[in-house]
Structure formats: C-alpha cells, structure tokens
C-alpha cells in the first residue's frame, strides 16, 4: 500500500451556502421539522442512533409485505437489516406506482441516432412482468442468476427489474467490457441466462455486442439461453435453439406477474468490481436495506420532488446506474432520462441539448465528463437554455475545485449547489455527501450522511489529526452495505475488515479539515480510477503477461487532465521477442480485447527489468513515482535497485 500521508496540495476555503429557498423547502428539512430536529448538526448527531434512524426512515421509504422484527442484526463483518421482513424492491420501484400513478413517465429514452421513447410506470411494469413471466417459463426460479450485457437502452432496467421481480439475482456486465470479461463474470456467478442485444450505437457507428456475447458464452458452461434485444435490427449471428428473440419471447406473455415475496436479506444482485488482485469481486446487494438506503439518499441529497426530471448520466452497467438510474429514482416515482450514446455526439452540445429539450432539473455526472466539457469550451453550453436545472451532482472520483467552479458557473448558472457524492460499489448508496441544507466547499464531499459514521485513521488505527491524510474508514454498518463477496468470504474479510478490527476499510485516502469537511484524495491501494471507473492494476498486468511475448508487466496510473488518471504500462519481453511499434500496438489491443477499451494502456513501454522487493513483488509505488517525476525515496531494500535507473532506458 502507498503511504497514506498524501500531502495537501491545495487549501480550498471558498464556501457556497445554499439559498434559503433550497434549504427551507428541501425534503430533509421537512423531515427534520416533523421529527423535532432543529439543525443539521443535531440531525447528524441524532442519526448516530442507527437503529432508531434507519428504523424510522424505513417506514417512510418502503412498503413491507410484512414488517421487520428487528432493524439490525450485526455479526461482524456481516450485517442483516430489517430482519424478518418480507419485501421486494420491485414492489416499491414499480408495483405501487403502476397502480397509483400509472400514467406518469418513468423514463424518457433517447437513442444516439435521435429516436425517442417515453415509457410510463404502467407500461414499464407491464413489460417487466411480461419478461418476468418469460423467464419463469424458461425455468428460472428464485435464487438463480441471470447475466445482463446491455447498453443504455430501456431493456436494461427492464431486464434488471424482471429478474428482481421473480427473485432471480442479476449480474449486469458493462457493455464496454470485452467478451472475456463477460465470460469471467458468467463463470463466477453461474448464470443460466444471458440477456443481450444485437448491437448499439456509439459515435455514429454500431458496436456488435452479440458477436462479443457469443464469443464470451463459448467460454462458459452454464448458459442455457441467450435472449437478444433487437436494437439496430442488424443481422446478428444466431445460434438456433439457444438464442431467443426478446420481442417474440414476451409477445404472448401476460402483463401481470406476481412479485415474489422475498426475505429482507435475500440477494438482489451481484455486481463485479475491480480489486487489488486480478479477479473481479462479486459485490452482493440485498433487497431491503439497499432499498431503504438508496431511496433515502436520493430523496435527501438530490431533493427530488414530484415535478423533477432527473438525469443520472452514467451507465447502468456500474453501481451508479444500479442505484440511481434504476432502483432509487423508480422508488421515488421520479421521471428520469436514459440516453444511449456518446456525450459529444454528433456535436459537443448533445448533453446540453438533452437537458434543454427534456427540461432536466437535477443532473448528476462525473468529474471526467465535466473536465471534458470544460476543454470543449463554453460556447457549446451557451447554445442552450439550462435554466431548468436546480441542483447538480458529481461522482466517481475527486473533483478538482477548478472543475467544480466551472460546473457551478457554466452548467449551474451560478445558482445550483453541487452535490459531490462519495460512495462505492460496496457502499451501495451515497455515504459522504452534502445535503441541500449544507454549506459547500469546492472539492469536498462535505460530511458523512445521517446514519453514517466515518473517520480517517492513521496506520496504527488512531484518528488522524485535522488536515492530515489517512485511510478513510466507516465505523458502523449501514443498510446498503455489501452483503459480502460472492462465494468469497475470505476475500471479503481480508479486503475490508483485516486492517482495523471491526472497522470497514474503504481503500481511499482522505482528510478531514478543521471544520469537519471530508476531502477524498484518491485510492490507497492498487486500483486505477479511469474516467471514474475502477480498474485493477493487477488485472491489466495479468492480461499483458498472458501475451506470448511478455514475461513481466507493471501498470501504474498517472494524473491525467481529463480522465483523472491515465494508464501507463511497462513490460519486460521474453527472450526471443524484441521491442517494436507493431508489438506495442498489439499489446495495447490485447488488453482491450481481454478487458475492454477502457483498460487499454495510454502509454506502453518496453524495459529490461522492473524494480522488485526481495520477495519478488513488483514495486509499483516506485514506478509510479518515476512516472510522475517525483523522487523515488529509499530503494535500498529492493532486490534490484538498479532496475529503477533502468526505467529511464525505456523504449
């Protein structure tokens, strides 16, 4: 692990206060008033009685089939929430709205070529039921797993909800991942069915997803059927008997399907995320605690009201989409946007055009996207009327104050507070984030949310003094806390619970300033953050080493103006192979093929040796320092200190 004492490079002291109108009318303020709480400080304090807090809010955000007997059962490191309740998140996300507000639009979908479709809560519920019935007809039952490999089209939430409705766990694989990444995930979770599509639009061209899906499925044994959505109506390859056309499959199914009454802690989904070792970890989420936590946080942080148009401009292949495009907005009965394509296609104002046309009022994106738009210039933004926006959000990586201010001024017209939400696939929901009643400092995620307990610890497990960087930890369980890692209890224990007994290790470095504001600085472990997406260094290295010409590889991140980090790879070739431009290209393509384009090294160098510890571990920390031009420090303990200088002879 890198030393957590990251120096504080900036001291940001500007304060942005919420308007009186925002604070007073906010959902959280109304809740406080109705519970006799008079200030933000008091709310944070009182909510530390976590059983009282989560027990109270659960009654307001979910409808049980039968109520819990106990709010929390905490047997370190596993927490069970709302024990004894019968529940299904689909009841709150769909069933209740389909009967009470059937004609309200759930999603406005816009495809990259400009095709549009609005789907109401009733229509969404009918289509989910049809697919759920079809899945049952194919023999799926509670406890089974389905993999979903779809782009941002309506059938992605539909497929997720159909699984959840019948008690089947879904495992969504980001459509930008390769066939091998898909195969790994299918093999790990043992999915019986894969739901995918023929192709989708990206930057004016089609991406042949079915070809990739087929290649992936060939390397698995458990898939019985592949359900194929027709998105581009291209002639995708077809395996007779195995492949089923989505439209035909659901055509004859009834739009009524009973929602399975699950136990509160039954599995809702598995979502794979990169860790410090090569193999992705299957993060588990369960129905009830997750539902309470995501609905509360979306309602309080982004203050969604009945007339709002919410756009979480992420991909539902990642946790942001699971929690805040699919489940939480639907639970709150919100109208959301789903856009298929690239942000700057056909021109750099596509997003702002969407905001204007659909009158988006609350908008959530990543610092990488904000920096990209900053670079493209404000003239693209100025072409559009963005006056419907009232709140903005940021997620995925630290937002630098410069990007924060640009976002505030140019997208938010100087009037929108920016909710910088810190969380993880594992936390399931926002953990540290402002509320509409909070003062903001650009670049800070402000305070842990009500019901959350965080701290920054030094190496010995003592709270770091104000202003000093250390390991960000969460001190107590929360309802959307991961239920473990799929079939891997040891890794769960080692990754999150081994460093400080009884305390959840986030893997991030942060500091808390004198006024209690949290500043998340980046990862402490070997996890890259590329455009807000998590990739593990070792996963990329194993891909490089799997190429016949490579004997050793090291991958490190380097600060990048737009993407946050860029990927720099160093490879040592096997005897008989020699550096060349075609080989460099081939190796970059090899990684893209193995994992996906997002993992392709931006820079790839050939070297003769890599610095290692005496036990033979490659010292990425030393390599990273070299790459960013910092002093490498004491290298006397290395097995081969001369390898550090060798890095300068890279080609």
Residues in contact with ligand PRX by the rule CB under 6 A: 273, 319-320, 395-398, 420-425, 445, 506-508, 520, 523, 529, 534
Q: Which is nearer to ligand PRX, 303 or 397 (CB)?
A: 397
User: 106: left (phi > 0), else alpha (psi -120 to 50), else beta?
Assistant: alpha
**β-bridge pairing 504-512 and 518-523:** antiparallel
Q: Which is nearer to ligand PRX, 503 or 572 (CB)?
A: 503
Q: How far, rounded to the nearest angstrom, does the alpha carbon of residue 622 sit from its chain's CA centroid? A: 29
Whether cis (ω within 30° of 0) applies to the bond prior to 336 is no
Nearest distance in Å: CB 242, ligand PRX: 32
Q: Tell which residue, 125, 146, 151, has the closest CA to residue 136.
A: 146
| E strand or H helix at 456 | strand 454-457
Q: Both tokens of residue 637?
A: 């303990």
Nearest distance in Å: CB 392, ligand PRX: 13
Nearest distance in Å: CB 138, ligand PRX: 32
If DSSP states are collapsed to H, E and C, what string results for 423-452?
A: CCCCCCCCCECCCCCCCECCCCCECECCCC
* Residue 217 and residue 196 in contact, taking contact as beta carbons nearer than 8 Å: no
Nearest distance in Å: CB 519, ligand PRX: 9
Residue 290's Cβ-count burial label (10 Å; 0-12, 13-18, 19+) is buried
CB contact burial 406-415 (16+ within 10 A = b; e otherwise): bbbebbbeee
Nearest distance in Å: CB 314, ligand PRX: 8
Q: Which is nearer to ligand PRX, 165 or 624 (CB)?
A: 624
Nearest distance in Å: CB 63, ligand PRX: 27
Query: Which residue number places its CB atom closest to ligand PRX?
Result: 425
Q: Which DSSP letter does residue 91 get?
A: I
Q: Tell which residue, 399, 410, 405, has the closest CA to residue 367.
A: 399
Cα distances (angstroms) measured from residue 623 to each of 382, 394, 537: 43, 31, 12
* Residue 163 and residue 90 in contact, taking contact as beta carbons nearer than 8 Å: no
Q: Which is nearer to ligand PRX, 91 or 523 (CB)?
A: 523
Residue 577 CB neighbour total at 10 angstroms: 16
Nearest distance in Å: CB 396, ligand PRX: 5
Q: Both tokens of residue 624?
A: 């990273």
Nearest distance in Å: CB 333, ligand PRX: 23
Whether cis (ω within 30° of 0) applies to the bond prior to 460 is no
Nearest distance in Å: CB 75, ligand PRX: 25
Radius of gyration of the chain (CA): 24
Q: Which is nearer to ligand PRX, 121 or 318 (CB)?
A: 318
Q: Which is nearer to ligand PRX, 79 or 273 (CB)?
A: 273
Q: Both tokens of residue 458?
A: 């030094």
* Residue 462 and residue 47 in contact, taking contact as beta carbons nearer than 8 Å: no
Q: Which is nearer to ligand PRX, 264 or 431 (CB)?
A: 431
Nearest distance in Å: CB 534, ligand PRX: 4
Nearest distance in Å: CB 279, ligand PRX: 16
Nearest distance in Å: CB 267, ligand PRX: 19
Q: Which is nearer to ligand PRX, 265 or 506 (CB)?
A: 506
* Residue 592 and residue 555 in contact, taking contact as beta carbons nearer than 8 Å: no
Q: Tell which residue, 174, 157, 425, has the closest CA to residue 281.
A: 425
Q: Which is nearer to ligand PRX, 369 or 587 (CB)?
A: 369
Q: Which is nearer to ligand PRX, 79 or 425 (CB)?
A: 425
Nearest distance in Å: CB 283, ligand PRX: 8
Q: Both tokens of residue 121?
A: 């809560």
Q: Which is nearer to ligand PRX, 196 or 366 (CB)?
A: 366
Q: Which is nearer to ligand PRX, 230 or 621 (CB)?
A: 621
Q: Tell which residue, 102, 255, 268, 265, has the closest CA to residue 170.
A: 268
User: 522: left (phi > 0), else alpha (psi -120 to 50), else beta?
Assistant: left
Residue 333 CB neighbour total at 10 angstroms: 17
Q: Both tokens of residue 586?
A: 């081939």
Q: Which is nearer to ligand PRX, 174 or 352 (CB)?
A: 174
């Amino acid at each position: 692990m890198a030393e957590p004492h990251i120096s504080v490079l900036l001291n940001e002291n500007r304060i942005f206060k919420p308007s009186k109108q925002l604070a007073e009318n906010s959902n959280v303020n109304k809740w406080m008033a109705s519970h006799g709480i008079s200030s933000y400080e008091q709310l944070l304090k009182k909510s530390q009685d976590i059983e009282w807090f989560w027990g109270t809010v659960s009654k307001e955000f979910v409808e049980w089939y039968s109520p819990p007997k106990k709010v929390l059962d905490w047997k370190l490191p596993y927490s069970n929430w709302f024990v004894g309740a019968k529940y299904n998140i689909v009841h709150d996300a769909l069933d209740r709205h389909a009967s009470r507000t059937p004609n309200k639009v759930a999603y406005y979908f816009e495809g990259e070529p400009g095709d549009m479709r609005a789907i109401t809560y009733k229509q969404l519920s009918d289509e989910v039921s049809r697919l759920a019935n079809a899945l049952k007809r194919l023999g799926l039952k509670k406890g089974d797993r389905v993999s979903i490999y779809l782009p941002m089209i309506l059938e992605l939430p539909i497929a997720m909800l159909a699984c959840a409705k019948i008690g089947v766990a879904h495992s969504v694989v980001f459509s930008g991942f390769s066939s091998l990444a898909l195969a790994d995930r299918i093999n790990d979770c043992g999915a019986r069915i894969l739901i995918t599509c023929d192709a989708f639009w990206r930057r004016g061209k089609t991406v042949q997803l079915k070809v990739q899906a087929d290649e992936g499925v060939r390397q698995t044994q458990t898939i019985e059927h592949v359900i194929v959505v027709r998105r581009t109506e291209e002639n995708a390859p077809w395996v007779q008997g195995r492949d089923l056309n989505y439209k035909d499959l659901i055509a004859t199914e009834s739009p009524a399907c009973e929602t399975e009454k699950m136990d509160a802690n039954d599995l809702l989904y598995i979502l794979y995320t990169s860790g410090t070792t090569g193999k992705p970890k299957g993060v588990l989420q369960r129905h009830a605690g997750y539902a309470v936590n995501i609905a509360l946080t979306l309602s309080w942080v982004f203050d969604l009201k009945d007339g709002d148009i919410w756009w979480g401009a992420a991909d539902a292949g990642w946790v942001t989409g699971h929690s805040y495009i699919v489940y939480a907005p639907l639970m709150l009965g919100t109208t959301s946007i789903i856009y298929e394509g690239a942000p700057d296609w056909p021109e750099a104002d596509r997003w702002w055009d969407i905001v204007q046309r659909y009158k988006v009022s609350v908008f959530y994106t990543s610092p990488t996207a904000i920096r990209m738009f900053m670079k493209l210039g404000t003239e693209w933004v100025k072409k559009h009327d963005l006056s419907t926006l009232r709140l903005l959000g940021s997620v995925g990586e630290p937002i630098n104050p410069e990007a924060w201010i640009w976002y505030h001024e140019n997208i938010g017209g100087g009037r929108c507070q920016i909710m910088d939400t810190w969380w993880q696939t594992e936390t399931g929901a926002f953990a540290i984030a402002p509320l509409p009643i909070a003062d903001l400092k650009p670049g800070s995620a402000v305070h842990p949310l009500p019901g959350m307990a965080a701290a920054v610890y030094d190496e010995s497990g003592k709270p770091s003094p104000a202003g000093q960087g250390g390991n960000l930890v969460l001190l107590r369980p929360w309802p959307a806390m991961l239920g473990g890692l799929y079939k891997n209890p040891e890794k769960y224990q080692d990754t999150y619970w081994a460093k400080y007994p009884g305390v959840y290790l986030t893997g991030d470095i942060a500091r808390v300033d004198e006024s209690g504001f949290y500043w998340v600085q980046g990862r402490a472990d070997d996890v890259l953050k590329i455009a807000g997406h998590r990739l593990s260094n070792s996963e990329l290295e194993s891909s490089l080493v799997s190429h016949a010409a490579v004997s050793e590889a090291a991958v490190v991140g380097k600060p990048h103006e737009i993407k946050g980090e860029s990927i720099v790879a160093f490879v040592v070739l096997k005897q008989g192979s020699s550096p060349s431009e075609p080989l460099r290209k081939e190796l970059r393509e090899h990684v893209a093929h193995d994992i996906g384009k997002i993992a392709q090294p931006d820079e790839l160098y050939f070297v003769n040796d890599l610095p290692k510890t005496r036990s033979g571990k490659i010292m990425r920390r030393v390599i990273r320092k070299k790459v960013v031009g910092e002093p490498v420090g004491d290298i006397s303990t290395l097995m081969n200190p001369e390898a550090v200088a060798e890095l300068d002879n890279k080609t």
